[in-house]
């Protein structure tokens, strides 16, 4: 029987305990983070590829307030619980934690992932310095996965708006 996606949504405290169990059993944790506002094929492929780099994957997602601060007053389109639920429903995602800041350095420090993944629009130099420092202190490997052409939340929203205007 499949686990309910809601069971995969964790507090940071629960995720840290889960992480300790992973360490004890020698399992490698992959972590990525982002807004994941409207889940699309690009996200799905990216998460599958990143999950294949380790044994389990945790996704840190921005809270509604932090998405709004980063993306503007019309975002997020989907609220944080439902974004987390959709991500948790993917077979490639083992856990989801919502964070409230514009950066997740504290969460990355607490989790100390083995592997950290970002999309192809990032490189080591473009990472947030606080997040990068937390990851380096924990000894994380860095991986950058190319985007699926034509798929981004901004592109999806633009297509929806264009279709509405017709």
Q: 32 versus 122: which is more confidently predicted?
A: 32
Closest CA to 138 of 31, 59, 9: 31
Phi, psi (degrees; rounded to nearest 5) at 29: -95, 125
Domain range annotation of the chain: 5-165
HSE-up (13 A, CA, CB side) for residue 116 = 28
Closest CA to 119 of 96, 146, 142, 92: 146
Per the structure block, which two tokens stand in for 128? 């947030």
Is the torsion defined by CA of 27, 59, 100, 112 positive or negative?
positive
Q: Which fold has domain 5-165?
A: Rossmann fold (3.40.50)
The predicted pLDDT at position 166 comes to 83
Query: ∠ at Cα 109 (60, 46), nearest 5°?
Result: 35
pLDDT at 73 over 90: yes
CA distances from 80 to 30, 93, 105, 165 (A): 21, 16, 19, 28
Residues 101 and 41: their CA atoms lie apart, in Å, by: 26
pLDDT band at 148 (very low <50, low <70, confident <90, very high): confident
Sheet containing strand 95-99, edge to edge, reads 9-10, 95-99, 56-62, 29-34, 115-119, 141-145
Instruction: Find the mean pLDDT for residues 100-108.
Output: 96
The predicted pLDDT at position 121 comes to 85
Average pLDDT, the chain: 94
The predicted pLDDT at position 33 comes to 97
Residues 16 and 34: their CA atoms lie apart, in Å, by: 19
- Entry pTM: 0.93
pLDDT at 151 over 80: no
Least confident of 11-15, 19-23, 155-159: 155-159
Least confident of 80-94, 112-126, 152-166: 152-166
């Amino acid at each position: 029987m499949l686990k309910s996606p809601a069971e995969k949504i964790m507090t940071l405290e629960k995720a840290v305990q889960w992480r300790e169990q992973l360490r004890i059993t020698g399992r490698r944790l992959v972590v990525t983070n982002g807004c994941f506002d409207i889940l699309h094929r690009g996200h799905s492929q990216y998460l599958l590829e990143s999950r294949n780099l380790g044994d389990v994957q945790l996704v840190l997602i921005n809270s509604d307030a932090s998405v709004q601060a980063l993306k503007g007053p019309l975002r997020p389109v989907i609220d944080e619980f439902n974004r987390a639920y959709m991500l948790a429903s993917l077979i490639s995602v083992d856990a989801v934690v919502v964070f409230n800041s514009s950066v997740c350095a504290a969460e990355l420090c607490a989790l100390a992932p083995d592997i950290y993944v970002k999309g192809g629009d990032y490189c080591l130099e473009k990472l947030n310095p606080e997040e990068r420092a937390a990851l380096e202190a924990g000894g994380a490997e860095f991986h950058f996965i190319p985007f699926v052409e034509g798929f981004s939340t901004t592109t999806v929203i633009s297509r929806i708006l264009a279709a509405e205007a017709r």
